[in-house]
C-alpha cells in the first residue's frame, strides 16, 4: 500500500525546553495532588532545588552533544530526586530512542503521558516510537488523539491515514483523506491516493470521480487522462479508454507515447490493424527512444514465428526504425537478428556490418557477424572482421578461432597457427570449443609440415572428445598420406564409417587407409559405396577410385575415372601424369 509522507516538523525541542525550563519545574509543582497521586507522581521540595536543575540541564547538554550515556545518568539522578517527573521521563525516552532501546523508551514516555496525557510533544514522540516498533494500531490511536487535540496540525491526519493503511483499514484511511481535503482544499496528491485506494477496492465509480476531479482542475495534464483511460481499460471498457486517449491526442498530437498507448487499447478491443497503425506512428517518431522501440520488437520476436504475419509486421517496423534512427547501432543489430530468423543471412550480414560501424563495442553483434560470414563462406571478409574482433575483444576466444579458420581456408597457415595458439589459451570450461582449437591447429601444423605438432594437437582434441568424427577423419587421412601409423589410422577411420556408413568423405578416408595398407579390394568396395552416395561429383573420390582400379589391374576403368576426376576440377596435381602414363 502506498503511503503519503507529509513534511514532518523537526523534533528538536531543546531550545523550547531551555526557554521554558522554569515553567517545567513550577507547573509540575502546582499540579493537583489528587491527580498526582493517581499517576504515581508527587512533586517535592527537590523539584526547585539547584541540584535538580543542575542535573536536568546537564542531561539536556549531554543529549545535545550526543553523549547518550552521560545524559541518561543525569536524567536518572533527576528521577531519583523527583520520581515520575514527566519532562525528565520525556527527555530520557528521547535518549533511549537514540540508543535504539525502544522497549525502555516506550516505558519512559508512557509514564510521562500518565502525568500529562494531553501534552502534544509527549504524544508525538510516543506515536513515533509505536511506529518504529510496528505497533500501528496503538500508533493510530495516538495520532487520532493528536488530531483531536491539534485539529490544525495536518501532519497528524496524514500520519493517522498512514497507520490505517498499514493495518489495511482502507475505508478509515479514505475518511481521513476526506477530512484533509475539507481542511486544505484541493490537493492532487490526496486525490491520486484516493483514486488508487478506490481502484484497489474495486470501487471504480468512486475512482472515476476522483480522477475526473484531477482532470477538471488540470485539463491539459496527460497523466490524469492516462489514469482515466487505464481505469476504463481495467473495467474492459475499451471504447471509453480509446476515446479518452483520442482527447489526449488532441492535446498533444505528436506524442509517441500516446500512440503506443492507443495501440495497446486498440489491441485489447480486437482492432489489430488500427493498433499496428498506431505503432507505426510511434516508430516513425524519432522522439520515442530507441530502447522503447527495441523492447516492443523483442516482444514481437518472442510471440512470432518465421514467416508469419507478426514476423512480417516486425520487418515493417524495422524498416521504419531504420529511417527514424539511422545512426543507432541497435537499429541494425536487431534488424539483423530478425533477418537471420527469416533466413536472409546475406541481408542480416549487411545490417550487422552497419551496426559495428556505428558502435564497435558490442561483442554479441561481432559474434553474430563472424558466424554468418563463416556460414556464407565469406572467407576474406571473415578474416578481416575476425582480426578486428581480436583487437577489440582480446579475451574472446571465438574471434581467434574464426581468424584461424579463415586463414586456414586462405592457406595462410602461419597466421592460422598464430591465431589458434593465442585463442586456445582463452577458453574456459568449454570442451567443445577447446576441441575445435586443437583440431584446427592440427590442420594448420599439418599444412606447415610440422607433423609432430599436428599429431599432438589431434591427440589433444581426441582426449577431450574421443568420438569427434572430424578429428578422427582428418587425423586418419593425414596419417595415410604420410604412410605413418596406418593401423591407428585404420582404427580411427573405421569408427567414423561405423557411425556414418553412407558418408562419402569418411568412406573415402577409410578406403585410402586400406589402399595404403595394400588392401585394394576392400578399398574398392568402400569407394564404390562412397560413389553411390554422392561421391560421383567429388574429384578426390573419383581419382582415388581410379588409383585402386589401377592397382587391381583394371587400367581402362582406372583411366575412365581419372578423366572424370579431372573434369570436376578438383583432382590432385598428379592427375595429368596419371592420364599420360595410362595412355602409354
User: pLDDT by residue (tens digit) across 337-383?
Assistant: 999 999 999 999 999 999 999 999 999 999 999 999 999 999 999 99
| Inside any domain, residue 151 | no
Cα–Cα separations (whole angstroms), residue 360 to 182, 357, 402: 61, 6, 18
**Please, which contacts does 169-176 make with residues 24 or more away whose CB atoms are closer than 8 Å?**
170/1, 170/197, 170/200, 170/201, 173/197, 174/198
Residue finishing a domain among 287, 307, 327: 287
Q: Measuring CA to CA, which residue among 135, 83, 144 is closest to residue 114?
A: 83
CB 530 within 8 A of CB 514: no
Q: 124 and 11 in one domain?
A: yes
Q: At which of 252, 287, 322 does a domain end?
A: 287
Distance separating alpha carbons of residues 580 and 90, to the nearest angstrom: 118
Cell of 143: 495520532
Q: In this predicted model, what pLDDT tens digit does every residue of 246-273 receive, in sequence order?
A: 888 888 889 999 999 899 999 989 999 9
Write out pLDDT tens, residues 8-32.
Answer: 333 333 333 433 333 455 444 444 4
DSSP label at residue 177: H
Whole-model pTM over 0.75: no
Number of neighbouring beta carbons within 10 Å of residue 66 = 10
Look at residues 31, 22, 32 and name the one whose alpha carbon lies nearest to residue 52. Answer: 22
Assigned domain for 372 exists: no
Q: What are phi and psi of 45, to 5 degrees?
A: -65, -25
Q: Indicate if 115 and 206 belong to the same structural domain.
A: no
Percent of the chain past pLDDT 70, that is, above it, reads 93
Identify which of 185, 249, 262 has the alpha carbon closest to the alpha carbon of residue 217.
185
Residue 76 Cα distances to 82, 90, 324, 372, angstroms: 10, 12, 74, 81
Report which secondary-structure segment, H or E, holds 403.
Answer: helix 397-409
Higher pLDDT, residue 268 or 396: 396
454-469, pLDDT tens digit by residue?
999 999 999 999 999 9
**pLDDT given at position 247:** 87
Residue 485 counted as domain residue:
no
Question: At a CB cut-off of 8 Å and minimum separation 6, what does 102 contact?
Answer: 96, 129, 132, 133
Shared-domain flag, residues 7 and 106:
yes
Span 482-510, pLDDT tens digits: 999 999 999 999 999 999 999 999 999 99
Q: Give yes or no: residues 18 and 109 share one domain.
A: yes
Are 129 and 5 part of one and the same domain? yes
Please say which residue of 236, 261, 287 terminates a domain: 287
In a domain, 11, yes or no: yes
Take residue 440 and report the three cell numbers written for it: 584446427
Q: Give the pLDDT confidence score for residue 46 in this predicted structure.
A: 87
Give 39's pLDDT tier (boundaries 50, 70, 90): low
Helices 21-29 and 50-64, packing angle to 10 deg: 130
Q: Tell me whether residue 127 is exposed, middle or buried, using C-beta atoms within 10 angstroms of its C-beta: 0 to 12, 13 to 18, 19 or more.
A: buried
Q: Specify the pLDDT at position 2.
A: 60
79 in any annotated domain: yes
Find the CATH number of the domain harbouring 208: 1.25.40.10
Quote the pLDDT of residue 584.
Answer: 73
Please give the pLDDT value at position 4.
Answer: 65
For residue 466, being part of any structural domain is answered with no
**Residue 423 counted as domain residue:** no
- Tell me whether residue 325 is in a domain: no
Structural domain span for residue 53? 1-133
How long is the chain? 584
pLDDT at 127: 97
Number of domains observed in the structure of the chain: 2
d(CA 584, CA 565): 19
Question: Quick one: how far is CA 129 from the chain centroid?
Answer: 40
Burial class of residue 121 in the structure, from the number of CB atoms within 10 Å of its CB (0-12 exposed, 13-18 middle, 19+ buried): middle
Query: Under a CB-based contact definition with an 8 Å cutoff, are residues 167 and 137 in contact?
Result: yes
Q: Which residue has the cell 503511503?
A: 3
Same structural domain, 15 and 123: yes
| Alpha-carbon distance values, 433 to 120, 412, 468, 507 (Å) | 74, 21, 12, 26
Q: φ, ψ for residue 510 (rounded to 5)?
A: -60, -45
**Cell reading at 272:** 489489430
Q: For 90, what's the count of Cα atoms within 13 Å in the CB-facing half-sphere?
A: 25
Regarding whether 33 and 97 lie in a shared domain, the answer is yes
What whole-number distance in Å separates Cα of residue 312 and Cα of residue 412? 43
Phi/psi at 8 (5° precision): -100, 135
Give kind and range of the element (H or E) at residue 446.
Answer: helix 431-447
Amino acid at each position: 500500500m502506498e503511503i503519503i509522507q507529509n513534511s514532518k516538523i523537526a523534533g528538536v525541542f531543546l531550545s523550547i525546553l531551555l526557554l521554558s525550563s522554569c515553567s517545567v519545574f513550577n507547573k509540575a509543582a502546582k499540579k493537583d495532588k489528587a491527580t498526582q497521586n493517581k499517576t504515581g507522581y508527587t512533586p517535592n521540595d527537590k523539584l526547585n532545588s539547584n541540584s535538580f536543575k543542575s542535573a536536568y540541564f546537564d542531561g539536556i547538554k549531554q543529549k545535545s552533544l550526543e553523549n547518550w550515556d552521560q545524559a541518561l545518568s543525569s536524567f536518572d539522578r533527576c528521577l531519583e530526586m523527583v520520581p515520575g517527573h514527566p519532562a525528565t521521563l520525556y527527555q530520557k525516552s528521547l535518549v533511549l530512542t537514540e540508543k535504539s532501546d525502544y522497549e525502555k523508551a516506550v516505558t519512559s514516555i508512557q509514564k510521562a503521558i500518565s502525568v500529562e496525557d494531553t501534552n502534544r510533544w509527549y504524544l508525538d514522540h510516543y506515536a513515533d516510537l509505536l511506529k518504529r516498533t510496528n505497533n500501528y494500531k496503538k500508533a493510530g490511536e495516538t495520532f487520532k488523539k493528536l488530531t483531536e487535540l491539534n485539529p490544525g496540525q495536518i501532519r497528524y491526519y496524514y500520519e493517522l491515514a498512514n497507520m490505517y493503511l498499514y493495518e489495511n483499514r482502507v475505508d478509515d484511511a479514505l475518511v481521513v483523506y476526506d477530512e484533509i481535503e475539507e481542511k486544505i482544499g484541493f490537493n492532487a496528491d490526496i486525490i491520486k491516493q484516493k483514486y488508487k485506494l478506490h481502484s484497489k477496492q474495486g470501487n471504480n465509480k468512486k475512482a472515476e470521480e476522483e480522477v475526473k476531479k484531477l482532470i477538471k482542475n488540470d485539463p491539459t495534464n496527460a497523466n490524469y487522462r492516462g489514469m482515466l483511460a487505464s481505469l476504463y481499460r481495467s473495467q474492459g471498457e475499451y471504447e471509453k479508454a480509446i476515446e479518452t486517449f483520442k482527447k489526449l491526442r488532441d492535446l498533444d498530437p505528436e506524442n509517441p507515447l500516446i500512440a503506443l498507448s492507443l495501440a495497446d487499447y486498440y489491441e485489447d478491443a480486437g482492432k489489430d490493424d488500427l493498433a499496428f497503425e498506431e505503432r507505426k506512428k510511434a516508430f516513425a517518431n524519432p522522439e520515442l527512444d530507441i530502447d522503447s522501440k527495441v523492447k516492443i520488437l523483442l516482444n514481437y520476436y518472442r510471440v512470432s514465428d518465421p514467416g508469419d504475419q507478426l514476423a512480417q509486421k516486425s520487418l515493417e517496423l524495422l524498416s521504419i526504425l531504420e529511417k527514424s534512427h539511422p545512426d543507432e547501432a541497435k537499429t541494425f543489430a536487431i534488424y539483423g537478428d530478425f533477418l537471420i530468423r527469416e533466413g536472409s543471412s546475406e541481408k542480416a550480414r549487411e545490417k550487422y556490418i552497419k551496426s559495428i560501424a556505428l558502435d564497435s563495442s558490442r561483442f554479441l553483434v561481432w559474434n553474430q557477424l563472424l558466424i554468418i560470414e563463416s556460414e556464407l563462406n565469406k572467407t576474406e571478409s571473415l578474416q578481416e572482421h575476425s582480426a578486428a574482433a581480436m583487437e577489440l575483444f582480446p579475451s574472446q576466444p571465438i574471434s581467434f578461432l574464426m581468424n584461424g579458420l579463415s586463414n586456414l581456408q586462405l592457406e595462410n597457415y602461419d597466421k592460422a597457427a598464430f591465431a589458434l595458439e593465442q585463442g586456445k589459451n582463452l577458453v574456459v570450461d568449454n570442451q567443445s570449443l577447446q576441441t575445435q582449437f586443437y583440431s584446427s591447429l592440427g590442420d594448420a601444423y599439418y599444412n606447415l609440415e610440422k607433423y609432430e605438432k599436428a599429431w599432438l594437437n589431434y591427440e589433444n582434441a581426441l582426449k577431450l572428445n574421443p568420438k569427434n568424427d572430424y578429428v578422427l577423419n582428418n587425423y586418419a587421412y593425414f596419417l595415410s598420406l604420410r604412410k605413418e601409423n596406418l593401423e591407428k589410422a585404420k582404427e580411427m577411420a573405421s569408427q567414423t564409417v561405423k557411425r556414418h556408413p553412407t558418408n562419402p568423405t569418411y568412406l573415402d578416408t577409410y578406403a585410402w587407409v586400406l589402399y595404403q595398407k595394400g588392401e585394394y579390394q576392400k578399398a574398392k568396395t568402400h569407394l564404390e559405396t562412397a560413389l553411390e552416395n554422392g561421391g560421383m561429383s567429388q574429384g578426390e573420390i573419383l581419382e582415388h577410385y581410379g588409383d585402386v582400379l589401377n592397382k587391381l589391374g583394371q587400367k581402362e576403368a582406372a583411366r575412365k575415372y581419372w578423366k572424370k576426376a579431372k573434369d570436376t576440377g578438383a583432382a590432385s596435381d598428379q592427375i595429368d601424369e596419371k592420364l599420360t602414363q595410362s595412355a602409354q
